[in-house]
A = this chain, B = another copy of it.
Amino acid sequence: MNNYPSTLLEQAVNEMSSLPGIGKKTALRLVLHLLKREPIEVANFSQSFTRLRNEIKYCTECCNIADQLVCNICSDKNRDRSLICIVEDIRDVLAIENTQQFHGLYHILGGIISPMDGIGPSDLNIDQLIARASSGEVKEVIMALSATMEGDTTNFYLFRKLSDFAIKISTLSRGVAVGDELAYADEITLGRSILNRTLFENNFQK
């Protein structure tokens, strides 16, 4: 798959396949699809990425991607400003927003501590989090990071940083996922779900 008849095509395929999870064959399929579209459509397609990259702002409060200085969640007067949910990136915000169960604010770390990938605490938006915590407005912080080794490391680091303030620190409950069969649950999850068992009626809370 390396004898492209055109260097323009080759460059486009190389760029497309630089995206994570897109191989050369898929990239070629996508690029050929673009070739069949109108030039103005392709121009809009391309422009959307350069515009996003060049004009994007980050919310000065929660570090989320935003069009203005303060994102639409932080500027929403109806949300509980005493409750902050700490997440890794914007995809987690969208996932939690979709549940419609959370009405506080977010704080986007921009990653998790991962020495293997060379990501330390200084690479994350932790200073901004401390600033928010020290303002006195925040009463509770919910740790909503991935249930992985790196997530737990970050949780522990943040717990130590935040424990200086009079703030309740909670974390997402761990347990058997809705729809999971017990026989296939791993022993750590199942063990924790027994230790942290909840009252039966709580599972039917709206």
A binding-site residues for B, Cβ under 8 Å: 1, 3-9, 11-12, 14-16, 18-22, 26, 28-35, 37, 39, 42-57, 59, 64-67, 71-73, 89-91, 93-94, 97-98
Contact = CB atoms under 8 A, between A and B. Distances in A.
Given A8-B48, A9-B56, A31-B52, 8 more contacts: A5-B93, A6-B67, A18-B45, A19-B30, A20-B30, A20-B33, A34-B52, A35-B56
Contact of A5 (B3, B37, B44, B64): B64
Contacts of A16: 49
Nearest to A65: B6
- In the complex, the count of this chain's copies comes to 2
A48 B12 CA distance: 5
Nearest to A30: B19
Main secondary structure on A side of the interface with B: helix
B1 A98 contact: yes
Given A12-B49, A20-B29, A42-B49, A66 B97 contact: no
Given A15-B44, A15-B48, A9 B97 contact: no
B49 A53 contact: no
Given A1-B98, A45-B49, A98-B1, A56 B90 contact: no
